[in-house]
Structure 1
Amino acid sequence: MADSDTGAFIWYELMTPDPDAAKMFYDAVIGWDIGPRDVGNGNMDYRMIRRSDGGMAGGVLVLSQEMQDGGALPAWYGYVHVADVDAAKQAFEAAGGTVHFDQTMDGVGRMALVTDAQGAPLYVMTPNPPEGDPDAKSDVFDYEKAQHVRWNELSTTDQDGAIAFYTGLFGWRQEGAMPMGELGDYKFLYRGEGMIGAVMAKPPSMPQSNWVYSIGVDDIDRATAAVSAGAGALIEGPHQIPGGEYSAVCTDPHGVAFGLVGPRKE
């Protein structure tokens, strides 16, 4: 990817033990088309998430029994582009976080799974650009479009500490806030001039600090109905948000939390 992607969310990945169930669920809720197993990945079962515009929204990594026995749980993970994976790993460890693994994949790039000092997991990655397109830019995140991730929200036990850490490491900035009653302020994050998400205090109902990614949909009522019909759960919302659209927090059939954001069509 282009150097201008540094600090951007460039990929999203669902880890799940049942890719066929994930396809049925997310295709219906979001409008994606999760593809078949990519046979080019050897023994790893990896599937691409295709948008209706022909682009990619991310990937699905199938959790093997061995991975689950080792403690891996179904979840959504975000990948942030860094210029130097080693430097990013050292920053996480110096701040009290943990490096879980570091991997280089031919033709893909180098990545490391890390957790911050409060336990929220994230990937840092230096990707290889596509062959013949050295200036390619990721478009998996888009603040406005359906079938893209539209919002990156961190719920954490140390809001100010997390903001200081991530803005310092990734070059983000925190600007503006919205009051949330007992949870304090909901503090917005920017990368350059674009708003990418927010940091909030971890609600008591959330078991640990975590990133939750909100995916754009064409119709919030259609999408939330599809969540319920597909054996997922609607946890919160839909609530109207600034700008007139609506957001909701859901879980998929394996209990993986994610958000939805989009308009309400009358």
Structure 2
Amino acid sequence: MLQSVSGSRSQTHGKFIWCELMTPDTEASGRFYSSVIGWKVKPVEMPDLEFPYFLFEMGEGDNCPGVGGMMNFPPELEGKIPPNWTGYVAVDDCDQTAKDFIANGGQVQREPEDIPGIGRFAVVADPHGAVICIMKPFPMENPPQELAPEAVGNVGWRELYAGDGNQAFDFYSKVFGWTLDHDMDMGSMGVYKIFAHNGTPIGGMMTRPESVPMPCWCYYFNVEAIDAAASRVTLGGGQVVNGPMEVPGGSWIIQCIDPQGAFFCLVAPRR
């Protein structure tokens, strides 16, 4: 049975705030995504970092919006998990939310710890094993500006292929406070549940189809036009594994694998 999560929440609790690529080759991955999406790759210069870290940014100047990060596999994970994108969700209390995950049947895969100057984070998984990160950001004197949700280069949508769509929604609504915007009947594929944060739809979840080997989150990055983006994916050595496909609302999507093996998706308002 799901346990209640006590206390009032801020407006940022449950907000997706970051997306991170773990890859065996940051140089090659940086070139690929710069070509496909238009990001700039910027190395992070922080003395406390144990390994090189890179930002994906959009725009010009020294304080342009960052939309994600990239790192090589740490030694303890090399060869144990495939290249992947992972989302970060803001929480009011990282330690308490990690406990909430456990109390409601989830797991903590990396215990809460501080990233100096950035925030306190943990790697967690829902009851069916889909991995996500949680973070309580530290206050910043000069926070970077944020891209609009629909801006090219930003994360435009998040999607969970769940072990059980209904159970997953109940779990995440409990720990993150997400609400149901509406259900979409997908016929033989089941029900697609559109979920919202503070009343704004931010993603969807459904019971995973048999073609998806395990429960997982995936992320859709905004591009201007889907056909041109698909061409950039293949020219850069990636694969388009599904699409182009028109989705309700008129947008077009493709699902892809980058040259290092990480799964990612693109979304555009037109072909």
Aligned residue number for residue 57 of structure 1? 67
Whether 2:96 is the aligned partner of 1:87: answer: yes
Whether 2:187 is the aligned partner of 1:177: answer: no
Paired letter, 2:57: R
Whether 2:126 is the aligned partner of 1:116: answer: yes
Aligned residue number for residue 39 of structure 2? 32
CA 1:262 to 1:41, structure 2 compared with 1: closer, same or farther past 3 Å? farther
Report the 3-state secondary structure (helix = DSSP H, G, I; strand = E; otherwise coil) of the residue aligned with 1:118.
Answer: coil
Report the 3-state secondary structure (helix = DSSP H, G, I; strand = E; otherwise coil) of the residue aligned with 1:67.
Answer: coil
Q: In 1, Cα distance between the equivalents of 2:89 and 2:123?
A: 11
Q: In 2, Cα distance between the equivalents of 1:42 and 1:179?
A: 46
TM-score, normalised by the number of residues in structure 2? 0.89
Q: CA deviation at 1:245?
A: 2.0
1:184-199 to 2 correspondence within 5 Å? 184-199=190-205
Report the 3-state secondary structure (helix = DSSP H, G, I; strand = E; otherwise coil) of the residue aligned with 1:208.
Answer: coil
CA 1:81 to 1:137, structure 2 compared with 1: closer, same or farther past 3 Å? farther
Aligned residue number for residue 251 of structure 1? 257
Percent pairwise identity: 36
CA 1:39 to 1:105, structure 2 compared with 1: closer, same or farther past 3 Å? closer
Q: In 1, Cα distance between the equivalents of 2:253 and 2:241?
A: 11
CA 1:184 to 1:138, structure 2 compared with 1: closer, same or farther past 3 Å? farther
Report the 3-state secondary structure (helix = DSSP H, G, I; strand = E; otherwise coil) of the residue aligned with 1:186.
Answer: strand
* 2:83 corresponds to which of 74, 79, 83: 74
Aligned-pair Cα RMSD in Å:
1.8
Q: In 2, Cα distance between the equivalents of 1:245 and 1:7?
A: 25
Q: After the TM superposition, which of the residue ranges 145-154 and 29-38 deviates more from structure 2?
A: 29-38
Report how many residues are paired: 258
Paired letter, 1:120: A
* 1:162 corresponds to which of 149, 158, 168: 168
* 2:150 corresponds to which of 144, 147, 156: 144
Q: In 1, Cα distance between the equivalents of 2:11 and 2:98?
A: 20
Q: CA deviation at 1:65?
A: 4.4
Whether 2:140 is the aligned partner of 1:130: answer: yes
Per-residue CA deviation, residues 134-166 of structure 1 (Å, 9 max, x unaligned), is xx58736x5422100010100111111110011
Per-residue CA deviation, residues 114-134 of structure 1 (Å, 9 max, x unaligned), is 011101000011010212x5x
CA 1:12 to 1:243, structure 2 compared with 1: closer, same or farther past 3 Å? same
Q: CA deviation at 1:91?
A: 1.5
Report the 3-state secondary structure (helix = DSSP H, G, I; strand = E; otherwise coil) of the residue aligned with 2:11.
Answer: helix
Q: CA deviation at 1:37?
A: 5.2
Q: In 2, Cα distance between the equivalents of 1:210 and 1:139?
A: 26
Q: In 2, Cα distance between the equivalents of 1:138 and 1:92?
A: 31
TM-score, normalised by the number of residues in structure 1? 0.91
Unaligned runs of 5+ in 1: none
Q: CA deviation at 1:216?
A: 0.3
Whether 2:13 is the aligned partner of 1:6: answer: yes
CA 1:38 to 1:16, structure 2 compared with 1: closer, same or farther past 3 Å? farther
Q: In 2, Cα distance between the equivalents of 1:191 and 1:214?
A: 17
Q: In 2, Cα distance between the equivalents of 1:159 and 1:95?
A: 16
C-alpha contact 1:232 1:252 (8 A) present in aligned 2:
yes
Report the 3-state secondary structure (helix = DSSP H, G, I; strand = E; otherwise coil) of the residue aligned with 1:49.
Answer: strand
Q: In 1, Cα distance between the equivalents of 2:14 and 2:49?
A: 30
* 1:262 corresponds to which of 248, 252, 268: 268
C-alpha contact 1:150 1:215 (8 A) present in aligned 2:
yes
